[in-house]
Amino acid sequence: MKVLITGISGSLARGLATRLASAGHTVIGIDRRPWPDAPRGIDVFRVDVRKRPAEDVFRTHRPDAVVHMATVTYFTARRDERTRINLGGTQAVWHHCARYGVKQALFIGRHTVYGAAPDAPLYRTEDEPLLAGTTFPDLADLVAADLWAGNALWRSPDVRTAVLRMVYTLGPSRRGTLASYLGGARVPMVLGYDPLFQFMHEHDAISAIVAALEHQAHGMFNVAGPQPVPLSFLCRATGRTAVPLPGPVFPRVLGRLGFPRMPSASINHVKYPIVVDDAAFRAATGFAPEYDESKTMDAFRWA
């Protein structure tokens, strides 16, 4: 199978590309960023996914499957840039998929689109509404991209589409949203709140994407690993010092005093849990994580 990965220079995407290539698949990739030491046999095209040369890659290479991973968060890009990349890029990719006969397309999304709120239930299923547009406006572009990719299920029925809402990844690469939040020695928390955090090992995240490709997953799926862990436990197990800050102080210290730079609305995501139910994905693909919560946290801590 010939697989095109958009955003291939990202940390998780590199792992996926390597795994697919070693399993005998032909892998090509698109990214604006370079991947200098890409393994032989993996062709990386340094083009912007929204621009014409990207369409040319679809036209000339005719991939069988596409894994769309070219999305960004507030840790890596400004707001206007994020909307262009996340929503514009997703539109472009599914447009090309439909036009150039791609049989299968995966949107790699995030579980945070469900949004954190005091009255939201634990273990959200795929039919729950996506609240992040209101609870955390900086994720609105990702919510829009997620729903847009989901619309492809009826708009482009010839492209077998799956939207994977994946929990945070954690592991030796120390890349990703959760790793950025836990990046410093001291992690800001909100005093009196200790939400459950749901994460999976990078290795398992890659296995889940591979499983979705192999089983030709079709539909919207939550993808999760081991059971969730309260934030304070997560900080302790990864050797961080949790610093509980009173709610009104929290937004003011972000980006200062060695704390990570995050939008002030992120406070909801460190006060209330976002925990998803991944039963549908496990049933559809047979996926099961190899790393439990302790091993995953250790892998991040001791990398």
Partner 1 sequence: MLNRLVSPTVAERLERIDVPFNRLGLDPLGISRRHLGPFLSGLELLYRRYFRVTAVGIEHVPSAGRAMVVGNHSGGLPVDGGMVMASLFLDHEPPRLVHGMVEKFANNLPFLSEWFSRVGQLTGLPEHAVRMLERERVLMVFPEGARGTAKLYKDRYTLVRFGTGFVRIALQTGTPIVPFAFIGGGEALPVVYHFDLLAKVFRAPYFPVTPYGLPLPLPVPCRIHYGEAMRFEGDGTEPDDVIDGYVKQVRDRIAALTEEGRAAWEAAR
Single out the residue of 1, 98, 196, 242 in contact with partner 1 (rule: CB under 8 A): 196
Q: Which residues pair with 164 in a beta bridge?
A: 108, 221
C-alpha torsion 28→29→35→40, nearest 10:
0
Single out the residue of 272, 281, 287, 291 in contact with partner 1 (rule: CB under 8 A): 272
Distance of alpha carbon 288 from alpha carbon 203, whole angstroms: 12
Instruction: Check binding of 194 to partner 1 (CB under 8 A).
Output: yes
Single out the residue of 123, 134, 180, 301 in contact with partner 1 (rule: CB under 8 A): 123
Angle between helices 11-22 and 202-214 (to 10 degrees): 50
How far CA 192 is from CA of 70, 151, 161, 272, in Å, comes to 36, 40, 41, 11
> Given the rule CB under 8 A, which of 58-66, 179-187, 251-259, 269-277 is the region that contacts partner 1?
269-277
CB of 10 or CB of 195, closer to partner 1: 195
Instruction: Check binding of 190 to partner 1 (CB under 8 A).
Output: yes
CB of 141 or CB of 194, closer to partner 1: 194
Minimum distance, C-beta of residue 128 to partner 1, in the bound complex (Å):
9
Single out the residue of 23, 185, 191, 249 in contact with partner 1 (rule: CB under 8 A): 191
Minimum distance, C-beta of residue 186 to partner 1, in the bound complex (Å):
19
**Cβ-based neighbour number of residue 271 at 10 Å:** 19
From the list 228, 251, 3, the residue with the least C-alpha distance to 123 is 228
Minimum distance, C-beta of residue 71 to partner 1, in the bound complex (Å):
28
Q: What's the CA angle centered on 265, arms 261 and 270, to 5 degrees?
A: 80
Binding track over 237-266 against partner 1, x by CB under 8 A: x---------x-------------------
Please say whether the beta carbons of 6 and 69 come within 8 A. yes
Under the rule (CB under 8 A), what is the footprint of partner 1? 118-119, 121-123, 190-196, 227-230, 233, 237, 247, 271-273, 292-294
